Amino acid sequence: MRKNKPAREKERQTATRNRRELIEARLSRRALMKLGLLTSGGYLIAKNGLSARASGGDPQSPPTRPFIEPLPIVPVKQPVAGLTPDPTVAPNKAAGEARTRNHQALARFPPRKLYEVHQRAGLVSMSPDLPLQHIWGFDGITPGPTYIARYGEPILIRNFNDLPADNGGFGLNEVSTHQHNGHTPSESDGFPCDFFGPGRFYDQHYPNMLAGFDSTHPPNGDPNEALSTLWYHDHRVDFTSQNVYKGLAGTYLLFNDRDTGDETTGFRLPSGQFDVPLMVSDKVFDENGQLFFDLFNLDGILGDKFLVNGKIQPFFEVHPRRYRLRLLDGGPSRFYQFFLTDLNSPDTPLPFWQISNDGNLLPKPIQVTSVRISVAERADIIIDFSQFAGRSIVLENRLEQTDGRGPTGNLLPAGRGDRVLRFDAVLPPVADNSLHPAAITKFYDLPALEPPRVVRRFRFERNNGQWAINGKFFDCNDVRFRVQKNSAEHWVLQNNSGGWQHPIHVHFEEFQIVSRNGRPPQAVERSRKDVVRLGFNEEITVFSRFRDFVGPYPQHCHNTVHEDHAMMLRWDIEEIGDQRTEP
């Protein structure tokens, strides 16, 4: 029987408050299951005030006005002149370093720039209609500062954990910072189990070298494997969703002698102030307007507020010229399909250009009317705002998604989707030295494939209300398989979880899709990738080479809730690999 609305509302608030107390006690979902407080179906055990379905009690955010604050432009991280003490190959435990393994390549690729970043609490405004929010951020801001890096210019970041003991409701003050898509030695990759607590630091060495420098393309690597749009985020095992939702993420851009960061040279892509990272995330706020994270939602968390670069529904005043916009789905769980919409004539499709998929420029630009990204995927797009001079255009997500399972597959009518960002083409005309994307006939060729040494199969499946790969949950110490250095493999990713979708991410080496449900990849999926959307009942085969470094790396679902609970596995690169086909 349906209860009347006030009674249901009160029950919901009580359940929310009680769950919050458990979250503040910093119990992970796994701990709660062990304590018997959470059933395998994700329901809290019926007990006073906890009887609501665990995932059904998300608060509805208070109302906020859209498009009243400008898009934040994230500051660029500046290097420091030196670090004291100097970085060392072996972990400097005496000085408080938390690293446990030696740097593999510090002497070979000595850092040319040094950085120091502090993860700490911050107080920020996400909307003037909400109170200030207690976040955790790199340098106390979210998104964290943008790193601008170049190929052939190794860097080292001294990463301090200055996070407080009080989590204010959710989050765990232990961290492991992953550079997503980086060709990074394992000890600097941000492996989920390399986390460390407050008061310590971790030196992360990023060689910024092209993949293959030590084998397939010595000594400088394969120019066709250049990366462009990377990001970094916390990856602490079991707590990634909470810590990233709390703000621990930022952008890392890589340039080279073709994608130069100067629109008068190389590929001549829009550059400088016309090259803008856009981190999109969805969040939910409680009845007091405070950022809320429901620890008991095992499906995936959907927010009812959409933020770009940390602000709810900002506006962006642009000049009437071309811009390169780097879209990133910052999670925690939502899939997007973005369109450009003129709200005065929403049914008129507005084409633009997609130039990349994840961190990789496509073989050449492709004209599209929408881009689809799931958690952690990126897409660089070029929009020419000269055609919209004097007008406002909305970045609209029209992909229908009603719970954490994945999108329904339906597209909402134009103008009826989520209005994420409004472009106002109101600034005066300025020079545009970038090339029209139609005039760019080639970025990079796709590297040739080769026969795999091993074909491994992975079933992504539901297991007792949690998430498993080949029936097993993540375990830091369980090396599920060993890849042989300087070999190639096929990985068959199979969605065995019924009505669920999973964005699958592999660390360290990119892949190419060989087949999706038996068919070769089409259009923008003809690309190098580091995340692939595994749709309902799909089977995808991907190809990778494994080169240059050794050590542990993970493969996991990037719905951060699934990942924490525990759809992830550890694989290691070693000199001699194994032949396990269903690891």
Q: Is the CB of 183 or the CB of 565 nearer to Cu ion?
A: 565
Least Å distance, CB 394 to Cu ion, is 29
- Output Rg (C-alpha) for the chain, integer angstroms: 23
- Residue closer to Cu ion, measured from CB, 229 or 559: 559
Q: Looking at 311, 562, 565, 570, which residue binds Cu ion (CB under 5 A)?
A: 562
Range 187-226, binding Cu ion (CB under 5 A): none
Stretch of 226-234, 400-408, 514-522, 550-558 lying at the interface with Cu ion (CB under 5 A): 550-558
Between 395 and 557, CB nearer to Cu ion? 557
Nearer to Cu ion, 318 or 376 (CB): 376
Q: Which stretch binds Cu ion (CB under 5 A): 129-137, 237-245, 345-353, 558-566?
A: 558-566
C-beta of 434 vs 559, nearer to Cu ion: 559
Q: How far is the CB of 555 from Cu ion (least distance, A)?
A: 12
With respect to Cu ion, which residue has the nearer C-beta, 406 or 583? 406
The distance of closest approach from Cβ of residue 233 to Cu ion in the complex, given in angstroms and rounded to an integer, is 16
Q: Residue 243 Cβ, how far from Cu ion at the closest point, in Å? A: 18
Strands (E), 369-465: 371-373, 378-384, 392-397, 418-424, 454-463
CA distances from 176 to 99, 170, 249, 301, 462 (A): 10, 17, 11, 22, 26
Q: How far is the CB of 532 from Cu ion (least distance, A)?
A: 12
- How would you class 62 by CB atoms within 10 Å of its CB: exposed for 0-12, middle for 13-18, buried for 19 or more? middle
Cα angle at 205 between 204 and 211, to 5 degrees? Answer: 130
SS3 category, 384 = strand
Nearer to Cu ion, 38 or 468 (CB): 468
Q: How is residue 25 written in tokens?
A: 């006690």
For residues 533 and 562, which CB has a smaller minimum distance to Cu ion in the complex?
562
DSSP notation for 72-140? PPPPBPPPBS--SSPP-SS--GGGTB---S--SSTTTS--SEEEEEEEEEEEE-S-TTS--EEEEEETT
Shortest Å distance, C-beta 462 to Cu ion: 10
- Of 136, 115, 292, 225, which Cα lies nearest the Cα of 511? 225
How wide is the angle at C-alpha 193 spanned by C-alphas 192 and 194, nearest 5°? 95
Binding segment toward Cu ion, per CB under 5 A, in 199-207, 349-357, 420-428, 549-557: 549-557
Region of 47-55, 160-168, 560-568, 575-583 interacting with Cu ion (CB under 5 A):
560-568
Burial of 575 (0-12, 13-18, 19+ CB in 10 A): exposed
Stretch in the footprint of Cu ion (CB under 5 A) among 221-229, 396-404, 411-419, 559-567: 559-567
- Minimum Å distance from CB 579 to Cu ion? 27
Choosing from 557, 566, 568, 569, the residue that interacts with Cu ion (CB under 5 A) is 557
* Residue 549, amino acid: F
State the minimum distance, in angstroms, from the CB of residue 29 to Cu ion. 15
* Residues 480-509 contacting Cu ion, CB under 5 A: 502
- What is the three-class DSSP state of 50? coil
Closest distance of CB 375 from Cu ion, Å: 9
Strand partners, 542: 491, 513
With CB under 5 A as the contact rule, which of the stretches 128-136, 281-289, 327-335, 556-564 interacts with Cu ion? 556-564
- Cβ 508 to Cu ion shortest distance, Å: 20
Q: How far is the CB of 372 from Cu ion (least distance, A)?
A: 16
CB of 467 to Cu ion, least distance (A): 6
- DSSP track, 486-539: TEEEEEEEEE-SSS--EEEEESSS-EEEEEETTB---GGGSSEESEEEE-TT-E
Binding of Cu ion by 559 (CB under 5 A) = yes
Q: Name the residue nearer to Cu ion (CB basis): 308 or 506.
A: 506
According to DSSP, residue 435 is labeled P
> Do the beta carbons of residue 558 and residue 229 sit within 8 Å?
no
Closer CB to Cu ion, 54 or 421, in the complex: 54
Question: CB of 540 within 8 A of CB of 521?
Answer: no
Strand order in the sheet with 229-234: 144-150, 249-255, 229-234, 177-180
Nearer to Cu ion, 125 or 496 (CB): 496
* Cα atoms in the 13 Å half-sphere on the side-chain side of 513: 26
Rule CB under 5 A: which of 33-92 touch Cu ion? none
User: With respect to Cu ion, which residue has the nearer C-beta, 210 or 557?
Assistant: 557
Q: How far is the CB of 563 from Cu ion (least distance, A)?
A: 7
The phi, psi pair for 224, rounded to 5°, reads: -75, 0
Closest to Cu ion by CB, 324 vs 502, is: 502
CA count, 13 A, side-chain hemisphere, 77: 28
Identify which range of 132-140, 272-280, 451-459, 553-561 contacts Cu ion by CB under 5 A: 553-561
Shortest distance, position 533 Cβ to Cu ion, whole Å:
10
103/562 with CB nearer Cu ion = 562
> How many chain residues touch Cu ion (CB under 5 A)?
4
Inter-residue contact 229 to 359 (CB < 8 Å): yes
Contact 333, 373 (CB under 8 A): no
Between the alpha carbon of residue 14 and those of residues 7, 93, 229, the distances in Å are: 11, 46, 43
3-state secondary structure of 252: strand
Query: What φ, ψ does residue 277 adopt, rounded to 5°?
Result: -70, 135
Q: Which stretch binds Cu ion (CB under 5 A): 107-115, 204-212, 418-426, 557-565?
A: 557-565
- Sites of contact with Cu ion (CB under 5 A): 502, 557, 559, 562
